[in-house]
Amino acid sequence: MLQINNVSLSFGQQTLFDDVSLTLHSGERIGLVGRNGSGKTTLFKLIAGEMEPDCGRLALPKNYTVGYLKQHLHFTESTLLDEACLGLKADEKDQIWKAEKILSGLGFNEEEFYKSPAEFSGGFQVRLNLAKVLLAEPHLLLLDEPTNYLDIISIRWLKRFLQRWSNELILITHDRDFMNSVTTHSVSIHRQKIKKVEGDTIKLYEQIAVEEEVYEKTRTKEQKKREDAMEFINRFRASAARASMVQSRVKALEKMGEKEELVKVADLGFKFNAVQFEAQKLLRISDLTFGYTPERLLIENLSIDIGKKDRICVIGKNGKGKSTLLRLMAQELEPVSGEVVPHSNCKIGYFGQTNIERLQPKLTIEEEFSQLRPDLSYTEIRKTCGIMMFSGDLALKRIAVLSGGERSRVSLGKILLSPTNMLLLDEPTNHLDVESCDSMIEALDAFPGAVVIVTHSEMFLHHLANKLIIFNDDKVIVFDGTYQDFLDRIGWQDDADKKKKKKKKLDAQEQKQNALEAEYNKKHKALHNKITKIEKHIDDEELALEEINRHLVEVTVKSDSEEIKRLQIELHLKQRVIDLGYSDLEALIAELDLLDKSRP
C-alpha cells in the first residue's frame, strides 16, 4: 500500500504539487493522466525515491518493491535472454521459460534470444528493459508510456498481461483505450492537485468537469453577494442609523473569503491548414518495391490509389517497413522499382522522425516557425506557438534544449502552418497526452484532405480507418474496409499465434507447473480480498474516529461532562477496533509476503 501525504513540490516559479495526498490500496491498477508538464513522470520519480518532495512524505510498507520502467539503457550480459533473466527473482533464476515467454510476447523471436542487446535498435532495447521489469514482479509496477516502442501485436499482448496483474500498478499512457482496459481506478494531476476515482478516465473527466462547473457557479454567486454587500456598505457608510448594519456586512465579507477564478487549462488546438483539391485521386502507388539491401525487400509490388477523402492506417509489426513506406510516399526515398506519383496539385504535410531531426538546434521555436513561413506576421507566428502550448517566453526556448515531446509538438506546429491536402503521419501521438490525442482525432475528422497514418492505437484505428495497409507475415497487403472489418474477416495471424495452434500437449512438468500456479493464484486472490476488505474497514473506522473527535471538541467547549465521558469511552473503543484492524492487516500482509516467496 502506497501512501502520499500532503506532498508539495515546485521547480522555481512552477508548482507541480500543492499539498496533495493519495492512497494506493492492494491490487489497485491506476491510470495516471494529466497535461504534458503537469508532473506525471515527476510523481513516478518521487515514488521510486529518485526525488524528494519540498514537504510532505511518501510511505511504503517494509520490504515493498517498486519496479520502474526507465528509458535509460544499460546492459551487462552478452545475450538478450541472459540480460532479461537478470529481472528474475533470486529464487527463480532457473525458471528461464518465464523470460522466454515474456520476450516472445514483446515481439522477440527465438533466434534473437541469443543475440547481443547492443545489436538491437533503441526501441527494442526499451522492450528488453520492459521485460526485465515485468519479470521482477514488483509489488508496485510503474509504467511510463510502455506502448511507445511496441507494435500493435505486442501492445495487445501487454494489455492481456496487465489485465492479469495481481499487484499494484500505476500506468501513464496516451492511449486512452489501452489505459481503460487494464486499470481499476483513474488518477488526474489537475491544477496542482491529485484526484482519484474508481473507474475509467471518462468518469474521471466527467467528475472534474462537474466539480469545476459547481465551483464556478458558486464563485459567481458569491461574487454577486460581495458586490451587493459592497454597494450597501458604500451607500450607508456615512449613516449613523445604519452603522451596525454596515459593520455587520463588513464582518460577513471578511468571513466569506473570495474564490479565485479558475484559469483556463492550456489545450492543444489542432487545426490543419487545408488546401482545396478538386480531383478525386491525390497520389498513385504502382507496383512499388523497396529494400535497403537487395537481399531483404521490405515492400514488394504494392499498388494503391489514395483519394482525397481516404483515411488509411498503416499497421503491423515494427521493423517491417511502415515508416519506410511513408518516406517513399513523401519522396524522401527512391523505390527499387515501381513508382509513387502524386497529383500536380498534391500538397503533402509529412510528420516523421526525420522531421524532428531536421529541426535546427540553434533556432528558437518562434524562429523555426518564422523560417518556414516568412510571409506570416509576428502575431500569426506567436498564435501558432500558443496553439502548440508554447505561449509567452516558452516560444523563445531554443530547439536544442527541448524534450522529445516538445520537439514533436514543434514538428506538428510546422505541419499546421504548411498548406496541405494530404497528411502523412508516422506515430504522431507518441509524445502527446490523452487530451491532445482527442484533439488530434477531432482535427483529423475535420481535415478535408487525405490522411495516411502509422499508428498502434486501436482507438485511432477504430475511429479513423476506411482502408488499411497491413505489414504482416513479411507481406504488405491493402485491405479495403475498417479496422473492425479486418478483425472480423482476417484478424492477427502472427507467428506466435500459429505456433500456439501447433503446440503439442503440455508435458507432465508443465502441467504440474500450471497446477501450482493456479493454486497460488487462488490463495493470492483470497488474501488480497481479505486485505482490501480490512483496509476499507480501517478507512471507515478512522473517518468515524475523526467525527467523534470533532464532536468531543464541541461538547468540551460546552462543558457537558456526561457527554464528554461517553464520547471518551466511545473514542477508546473505536481506537481499539482500529488497532486490531491494523494488527490483522499486518498479519495478512506477512502471510501474503510468505506466499509470494514460495510462489512456484
Question: 342 — phi, psi (to 5°)?
Answer: -80, 155
Span 228-256, average pLDDT: 73
pLDDT band at 208 (very low <50, low <70, confident <90, very high): confident
Does pLDDT of 36 surpass 90? no
Q: Report the percentage of the chain scoring pLDDT > 90.
A: 35
Identify the bridge partners of residue 184 per DSSP, sorted by sequence position. Answer: none
Residue 368 burial by Cβ neighbours in a 10 Å radius (0-12, 13-18, 19+): buried
Q: What are the Cα distances from residue 524, in Å, to 163, 185, 247, 513?
A: 16, 21, 66, 16
Burial class from Cβ neighbours inside 10 Å (0-12, 13-18, 19+) for residue 15 reads middle
Q: Which of 186-200, 319-333, 430-444, 483-497 has the lowest mean pLDDT?
A: 483-497
Specify the higher pLDDT residue, 432 or 33.
33
Cβ neighbour number for residue 509 with a 10 Å cutoff? 9
Instruction: Please give the backbone phi and psi of residue 352, each rounded to the nearest 5 degrees, phi first.
Output: -160, 180
What is the model's pTM?
0.70
Q: Which of 341-350, 414-423, 448-457, 586-595 is the least confident region?
A: 586-595
Q: Who has greater pLDDT, 237 or 300?
A: 300
pLDDT recorded at residue 311? 95
Q: How would you class 221 by CB atoms within 10 Å of its CB: exposed for 0-12, middle for 13-18, buried for 19 or more?
A: exposed
Residues near 392 by beta carbon (within 8 Å), at least 6 away in sequence:
none
- What's the pLDDT at 264? 62
Nearest by Cα to 316 from 527, 474, 146, 204: 474
At 184 the pLDDT is 93
Kindly report which listed range (227-231, 290-294, 410-414) carries the lowest average pLDDT score.
227-231
Is the pLDDT assigned to residue 569 strictly greater than 90? Answer: no
Mean pLDDT calculated for residue range 438-454: 90
Q: What is the pLDDT of residues 336-388, one digit of tens each?
A: 999 999 999 999 999 987 677 788 999 999 999 999 899 989 988 988 888 78
pLDDT in tens, 483-538: 989 988 888 765 445 445 555 555 666 677 777 777 888 888 888 888 888 888 88
Position with higher pLDDT, 321 vs 219: 321
From residue 406, give the alpha-carbon distance in Å to each of 98, 129, 400: 38, 24, 11
pLDDT in tens, 265-315: 555 567 888 888 888 899 999 999 998 888 888 999 999 999 989 999 999
User: 66 with 60: CB under 8 angstroms?
Assistant: yes
The pLDDT of 401-430, averaged and rounded, is 87
Mean pLDDT, residues 158-170 taken together: 92
If you count them, how many residues does the chain have? 600
